[in-house]
Amino acid sequence: MGNKKREINEKFGTELKIARMRLNLPVTRLAELLDITPQQVYNLEKSDKIHNVIKYLFTLRANNADLNSLFDNVFEKRKYTV
């Protein structure tokens, strides 16, 4: 992986972890909400392989896509609320 991709992945993973910690949300609880394992949460926060998803979402946002609506249309908000 190129250095730029690695840098973006690490920054995004760090921001995910910071957001979770600001919510005082333990990894185990987030894993429950997402229906994944705690290890998968850690992997997301390491962001090894999500560069293309990050770029995709960033491009949508940069072009004024309403990402909140996008997510609201896909997921039931109450299921994922802490």
What pLDDT, on the 0 to 100 scale, is given for residue 64?
A: 95
What pLDDT, on the 0 to 100 scale, is given for residue 48?
A: 66
Beta carbons within 8 Å of 55's beta carbon, 6+ residues apart: 8
What pLDDT, on the 0 to 100 scale, is given for residue 1?
A: 55
- Domain limits, the chain: 3-80
What pLDDT, on the 0 to 100 scale, is given for residue 32?
A: 93
Flag whether the pTM goes above 0.75: no
What pLDDT, on the 0 to 100 scale, is given for residue 58?
A: 86
Q: What is the pLDDT along the chain (82 residues), one digit of tens a residue?
A: 578 878 888 888 899 999 999 999 999 999 999 899 999 999 888 876 677 788 888 899 999 999 999 888 887 776 777 7
What pLDDT, on the 0 to 100 scale, is given for residue 75?
A: 79
d(CA 58, CA 76): 22
d(CA 30, CA 17): 11
The CATH architecture annotation of domain 3-80 reads: Orthogonal Bundle (1.10)
Query: Phi and psi at residue 44, in whole multiples of 5°?
Result: -65, -40
User: What tokens appear for 28 in the block?
Assistant: 């185990």
Residue 19: which of 44, 48, 50 has the closest Cα? 44
